[in-house]
Structure 1
Amino acid sequence: MTTTSPRPAVLDDGCTPAPHVLAMGTDAADRLAAVLKALADPLRLRVVSLITASPTGEACVCDIATLADVSQPTVSHHLKVLKDVGVLTSERRATWVYYRLAPQVRGAVATLLDSFAPAAVEPARDAGTGLRDTDAVLDRVAARLTAEFPDASAPTVQLLVRESYASLARTATVGAHLVVNAERFARQRLTDRARPAGDTRPHVLFVCVANAGRSQLAAALLRHHAGDRVVVRSAGSAPAAAVHTGVMPALAALGADDSAFPKPLTDDAVRAADVVVTMGCGDTCPVLPGTRYEDWAVGDPALASPEGVAAIRDELDRRVRALVADLLPAD
């Protein structure tokens, strides 16, 4: 007797439904839906893309916190959601927590970001630097800095250059000077790492939220008053895209150099500093033993009038002069 496979039922409108066996299982669908629901948030997608784009495959919570203007508890909530569904793993190292993609989802997330995202998002973004081969340009930057810092290995310099470029690119709105600034930033970081044992000059780091007003002004004032007798750095816990427009005339009057662009706070700068002066960055500033910390309650010039900026500059000048007198008492 000849047997035949059962034929799918045909609906009245002529549609033949697909067999249920072709559909995803209920349990698998539930698990996948939970992951997709966790990812279906703009900030969480940005967190995942940041980690995926990192040359080291990981991101510090201090970098993640700069992605949006939200509170630290909010950032922690989003990271917990991604961890709970198995997308992220975390590891604490000294003062910071680092996040990575879980190995089992790494390929799937890469596909989501590399294939689906470009198809879903209208390609309306600016071309950034306008460079066709950024990798080649960054390789040349790394080669120059490797020759300049022979004690640092070539892979270390290359990684640091790419990290510096990526961290600035996340907030930059104009890409014309991005590679140049990335080289300056990488050179500064290498200099901080290679601080000679015989360099007895005080190293001072000014930190605010955006590194676009208070910390830039304080750094420029300290350079103005102390010259090269003090090594000066500035950074932001959530750096802005550019220095505040209202602050630029004051910086120009002080002869601010090419380092006056917003930069993220790095462990290199903190470790090299003898004095860390914070201005409103709160708990996002790492605290290391043996380093002197001061917190200056100074107004934010971001939205201040020209008169307000001048008052803030004067207050910073008073504090900087006192700091110079304390650090260089023999002068």
Structure 2
Amino acid sequence: MTTTVPCTANPAVVERAIGADAADAVAATLKALADPLRLRMLSAIATAPDGEACVCDLAELGEVSQPTVSHHLKVLRDVGLLESERRGTWVWYRVAPAYRGAVTTLLDRFAPAALESRRHAGRASAMHGLADVERELEDLAGSLAQRIPGTTRDEALRVVRESYTSLARRGGIPVYLVALTEHFAYQRLTDAAKSRTAGSRTAGSRATAEHPPQVLFVCVGNAGRSQLAAALLEHYAGDRVVVRSAGSMPAANVHDTVKPLLAELDVDPDGATMFPKPLTDDAVRAADVVITMGCGDVCPVMAGKRYEDWVVGDPALASPAGARAIRDELDARVRTLVHDLLPDLQLTD
């Protein structure tokens, strides 16, 4: 006979809930965002090269009249998401400073996660992790310590465990975690070894056969812009540049809109080298050039590095045509970077 245990209210649960007044204020902002066209407008403004857009720009998004666009922008402005400035006969809109970080998180993390959840709703994974993960990690650490000069087994084991934990937190298919951990830990240990032996090279210095420049691309999810930029740089520069990419809050997988663009570069979007990876201090220390794309201030600033911030739209939320336009913009920027780092290299399409 089954005994039913009565449910007893736990006061601590209620105490931890968001306050009623705060909930009302947040709900009003979320209600303003609960419109597809407004979300697209917000995305266009947030990713515009100058961080602002006018009504005439945004009217193209939904093939609607400018008064309709103005109405939607007013809704976003009334809840504080946007600021506006009149210049002559036009009004320009930009994301309010207090909301920039939140808007970046919404567009780069929450929105792609919502899309991914809808695509895979109802799909149950039959994949399972390894029965003895610790033993696999210890064996992996021993192998990496032998393969990377100057790396002790203890250091390798620490990095392997940290890498496995970081990758497990971001989700993905558990059965592949150890294989992905090997690639991520190898990269981290190699970067750490380079940091230890770094000489007097200056930021963005010219390439040599012995010391090719190392470039790190950083975005939020490491599932779109940074992966595309890294693939393009490898496509043009080959082994004359060491390329890394990472995310401040890495996604579980490369975005579906980006996969065909990577495939066109002969890169397997589901391969072991393309998985989204967390940003580490060692990656920044080892880099000569650090290029950020929408990740805000999370990337540590270290002396002797060349930093650039590329304002580029997020292909995760773009149409196929929009994703290709973003790819083309990244392509132009990467070509400029290659010309700067490797002036003797003749680029071809």
**Normalising by the residue count of structure 2, what TM-score does the alignment of the two structures yield?**
0.59
Aligned to 2:174: 175
2:71 alignment partner in structure 1: none
Amino acid corresponding to residue 168 of structure 1 in structure 2: L
1:253 and 1:155, CA in 2 relative to 1: closer, same or farther beyond 3 A? same
User: Cα gap change, 1:159/1:322 in structure 2, threshold over 3 Å: closer, same or farther?
Assistant: same
Q: Secondary structure at the match of 2:144?
A: helix
Distance 1:131 1:222, change over 3 A: same
The CA deviation string for residues 196-241 of structure 1, in whole angstroms up to 9 with x for no partner, is: 5584211000000000000000000000000000000000011001
Q: Distance in 2 between matches of 1:39 and 1:155?
A: 44
Choose which of 196, 200, 223 in structure 1 pairs with 2:211. Answer: 200
Amino acid at match of 2:251: A
Unpaired stretches in structure 2, ≥5 consecutive residues: 1-9, 19-100, 106-123, 200-209
- How is 1:177-256 mapped onto 2 (pairs within 5 angstroms)? 177-195=176-194, 197=198, 199-256=210-267
Change (3 A) 1:189 1:41: farther
The structure-2 alpha-carbon separation of the partners of 1:136 and 1:321, relative to structure 1 and needing over 3 Å to count, comes to same
Describe the superposition over 1:165-219 as per-residue Cα deviations: whole angstroms up to 9, x where unpaired.
Answer: 0000001231121110011000001111112558421100000000000000000
In the other structure, the counterpart of 1:5 is none
Partner of 2:274: 260
SS of the residue 2:174 aligns to: coil
The alpha carbon displacement at 1:153 in A equals 1.4
Map 1:5-154; keep pairs closer than 5 Å: 40=16, 71=102, 129-154=128-153
Name the counterpart of 2:108.
none
**Matches of 2:189 and 2:14, distance apart in 1:** 38
> For each residue in 1:99-132, what CA deviation from the matched residue of structure 2 results, as whole angstroms up to 9, or x when unmatched?
xxxxxxxxxxxxxxxxxxxxxxxxxx97874211
Q: Residues 38 and 286 from structure 1, CA distance in 2 versus in 1: closer, same or farther, beyond 3 angstroms?
A: farther
Q: Are the counterparts in 2 of residues 129 and 177 from structure 1 also a CA contact under 8 Å?
A: no
Deviation (angstroms), 1:309: 0.9
Distance in 2 (CA, whole Å) between partners of 1:40 and 1:155 is 41
In structure 2, distance between residues paired with 1:316 and 1:227: 17
Count of aligned positions = 220
In the alignment, the residues of structure 1 paired with residue 146 and residue 198 of structure 2 have an alpha-carbon distance, to the nearest angstrom, of 21
Deviates more, 1:186-195 or 1:248-257: 248-257
Q: Spell out the pairing of 1:286-297 with structure 2 (5 A cutoff).
A: 286-297=300-311
Larger mean CA deviation between 199-208 and 266-275 belongs to 199-208
- Alignment partner for residue 289 of structure 2, among 271, 275, 285? 275
**Once the two structures are superposed, what CA deviation does each residue of 1:273-315 show, in whole Å capped at 9, x if it has no partner?**
0000000000111111110000111100011111111111100
Distance in 1, matches of 2:286 and 2:128, equals 31
| Corresponding residue number in structure 2 for 1:325 | 339
| Structure 1 residue identity aligned to 2:222 | N
Following the alignment from structure 2 to structure 1, what is the Cα–Cα distance between the partners of residues 180 and 254? 13
Q: Describe the SS at the equivalent of 2:308.
A: strand
Determine helix, strand or coil for the equivalent of 2:297.
helix
Deviation at residue 40 of structure 1 after TM alignment: 5.0
Aligned to 1:110: none
- SS of equivalent to 1:177: helix
Of structures 1 and 2, the one with the larger relative CO (CA 8 A, separation 6+) is 2
Residue 202 of structure 1 contacts residue 274 of structure 1 at CA under 8 Å; is this kept in 2? yes
Counterpart-to-counterpart distance in 2, 1:281 and 1:312: 17
CA distance in 1, matches of 2:221, 2:175: 20
CA distance in 2, matches of 1:219, 1:242: 16
Q: Which amino acid aligns with 2:284?
A: V
Letter of the structure 1 residue corresponding to residue 285 of structure 2: R
Cα distance, 1:71 vs structure 2: 4.6
Q: Counterparts of 1:38 and 1:190 in 2: how far apart (Å)?
A: 45
Please give the TM-score of this superposition, normalised by the length of structure 1: 0.62
Match of 1:309 in 2: 323
* Letter matched to residue 130 of structure 1: G
Q: Which runs of 5+ in 1 are unaligned?
A: 1-32, 43-69, 75-124
Rounded to whole Å, the distance in 1 between the matches of 2:17 and 2:164 is 26
> Within 2, Cα distance between the matches of 1:142 and 1:184?
12
Aligned-residue Cα RMSD (Å) equals 2.6
| SS in structure 2 of the partner of residue 234 of structure 1 | strand
Task: Quote the Cα distance in structure 2 between the aligned partners of 1:194 and 1:326.
Answer: 26
Structure 1 CA distance for aligned equivalents of residues 311 and 164 of structure 2: 31
SS of 1:232's partner is strand
Contact 1:129 1:178 survives alignment (8 Å): no
